[in-house]
Amino acid sequence: MILLLAFPVIEKAILEHGPVVYSVRTPSPVVYIGVEVDGGSARNRWAFPAFSLLEEVFDGLDSLDNLGGELWGRVRREGVFYVISIRKERVKEGIYLLKEFLLTRPHGLPEGFYERMKVKIKKLSSSPATHGKDVLFKHLYRGPYSKPLYLLPDSISLDSINAYLERHVGIRNITLAIAGNVNPDSLLPYIDSLFSDFPEGDSLPPLPLPSPVYKKRVVLIKKKGWEQVWVWQGRHLGIKMDAKLYFPMVLLNACLGGSGTLSRLYSVVREEHGWAYAIHTYFYSRSFPGPWVMKFETKKENLKNVISTVNEIIENPLDGADMERVKDYLMGNFFISLSSPYALIRFIFSCSRWEVDPYSFILSWEEKLEKPELQDVGMAEGYLLSSPPVWVVMGDLTEEDVKEIFGDVEVIEE
């Protein structure tokens, strides 16, 4: 309860002319000004090229540097997220530059832009972690969620990029969040006036949800010369933050692999047998209602034993689980995860995306986490196991190696 009493209030303001603004006062002398644009790759394949181009042609970066500020962001499936960090004395100038960045409309393509995009996407998508997850989503889902997060069109169309910006970058489709040691009441009139001439943007339907395939698959990605084998398992859940099963699923996931040394997968696979340096699980709900995912790395000679043990634990996740210790871990870890202004902004956008009040969610965290009984977590277990798994195995393995362990392999990707 001490943590709750000390937690800063998150306020929401609906301005007459400007966007929805969330604000939270923290001790940080550096203020973080975040914006989320409802225009991620699940909505439109031009999201990544469009914002990559804005970063190249925006002429305010020098001004931001001179102010001691920094701009960075990411295009994700559920939305586009950018943040400016700046000293509190310069916060209004930071808000102004963020607006100018969003309003930038390219009049041409810089020389060599397409080639730089290819290099950038190759760098982002070629890491084993990103590639493995892209393959997992490819076989879990149909439609936009099955596509790689970083996807380069066959050619760059300036008209398509500007059409994307006009459609998505408008008052209707952006949300601001400000975190730092600054009084939001002193900023809201300025933001309202500043954004009074901002375009409205199109009225968009709700964010499309993943369309699961619901078919068990084993996918082999061959990597010659690798000593380690990387393994993912994914099962579609589709649980939102406000769903009845959300908190039972939080507890179940923590019992499996989401509570560090307390989780059963970690204690058995790593601590007891030493088969993997780390094994962890998580599920998508804040970003979009997606899959539950497990990921680990192990040596080729240990793979058969690890898979056998993992399957046994997943099918009996509550055997030997200390639910009270897991709850205590989650109580404190949740607040620690929100201890930085940047993390708070990300959390605020996750809540606003699904029309969940972020401050109410924080205040009710302990109560809602304490409420589920063992049978409630058992219901989450049944729900998880009802979804067929997709396995992605990446390493120096043959089809015969994988068949011996998994019984089959449907897809082989070089």
Quote the number of domains for the chain.
Answer: 2
pLDDT at position 408, please?
81
Helix orientation angle between 113-125 and 47-57, rounded to the nearest 10 degrees: 120
pLDDT band at 317 (very low <50, low <70, confident <90, very high): confident
Residue 203 lies in a domain: no
186 in any annotated domain: yes
pLDDT in tens, 162-175: 999 999 999 999 99
**Pair 57, 151 in one domain:** yes
Tell me, yes or no, whether 166 and 41 share the same domain.
yes
Q: How many other C-beta atoms lie within 10 A of the C-beta of residue 189?
A: 11
Average pLDDT, the chain: 92
In eight-state DSSP terms, residue 274 is -
Tell me the per-residue pLDDT of 305-314, one tens digit each, with 9 for 90 and over: 999 999 999 9
Give me the pLDDT at residue 178, please.
97
Tell me if 107 is assigned to some domain.
Answer: yes
Domain coverage including residue 266: 214-413
Flag whether pLDDT at 1 surpasses 60.
no
Kindly state whether residues 252 and 179 are assigned to the same domain. Answer: no
**Single pTM value for the model:** 0.93
pLDDT of 319 higher than 90: no
Q: Confidence class of residue 2 from pLDDT cuts 50, 70 and 90? A: very low
Do both 31 and 178 map to the same domain? yes
Same domain, 115 and 146: yes
* Helix (H) or strand (E) run with residue 230 in it: strand 228-236
Asked whether 33 and 71 are in contact (CB, 8 A), the reply is no
Whether residues 192 and 265 share a domain: the answer is no
DSSP line for 130-152: HHHHHHHHHHHEEGGGGS-SS--
**φ, ψ of residue 205 in degrees (nearest 5):** -70, 170
180 and 32 in a single domain? The answer is yes
CA-based angle 331:332:337, to the nearest 5? Answer: 110
Write the CA distances from 103 to 174, 197, 400, integer angstroms: 12, 11, 55
| Residue 115 belongs to a domain | yes
- From 197, 227, 255, give the residue that closes a domain: 197
- pLDDT value at position 126? 84
The more confidently predicted of residues 153 and 81 is: 81
pLDDT score of 260 more than 90: no
Q: Shortest CA distance to 386 belongs to which of 216, 206, 141?
A: 216
Domain assignment present for 48: yes
pLDDT for 155 equals 83
Answer whether 52's CB lies under 8 Å from 120's CB. yes
Gap between the Cα atoms of 161 and 167, Å rounded: 10
Residue-level pLDDT at 75: 94
191 and 254 share one domain: no
The DSSP letter of residue 268 is I
Note the Cα 363 to chain centre separation in Å: 23
State the pLDDT at residue 123.
87
Q: Give domain status of residue 202, yes or no.
A: no
Q: Tell me how far apart the alpha carbons of residues 128 and 226 are, in angstroms, rounded to a whole number.
A: 11
Q: What is the CATH number of the domain that holds 46?
A: 3.30.830.10
Residue 411 confidence (pLDDT) above 80: no
Provide the pLDDT for residue 263.
92
Query: What mean pLDDT do residues 188-208 have?
Result: 94
Q: Are residues 256 and 357 in the same domain?
A: yes
Q: Span 101-120, mean pLDDT?
A: 91
Query: 363 and 231, same structural domain?
Result: yes
Q: Give Cα separations from 328 to 208, 256, 313, 383 (angstroms).
A: 35, 16, 22, 24
Name the percent of the chain lying above pLDDT 70: 98
Answer whether residue 236 shows pLDDT above 70: yes
Quick check: 410 and 219 in contact, CB under 8 A? yes
Residue type, 36: E
Q: Residue 327: pLDDT above 60?
A: yes
CA angle (312 as vertex; 309, 315 as ends), nearest 5: 150
Handedness of CA 342, 250, 210, 353 (dihedral sign): negative
- Both 245 and 341 in one domain: the answer is yes
Name the domain boundary from 172, 197, 222.
197
414 — pLDDT class (breaks 50, 70, 90)? low
> What does R_g of the chain's alpha carbons equal in angstroms?
23
The dihedral built from the CA positions of residue 229, 232, 318 and 308, taken in this order, carries a sign that is negative
Rounded mean pLDDT, 102-130? 90
* 89 in any annotated domain: yes
- The reply to whether 129 falls in a domain is yes
Q: Where among 197, 231, 262 does a domain terminate?
A: 197
Question: Domain check: are 92 and 224 in the same one?
Answer: no
Distance (Å, whole) CA 96 – CA 80 = 19
Judge whether residue 3 has pLDDT over 60.
no
pLDDT greater than 60 at residue 346: yes
Mean pLDDT of all residues in 318-327? 84
What confidence tens digit (pLDDT) does each residue in 128-150 have?
999 999 999 999 999 999 999 88
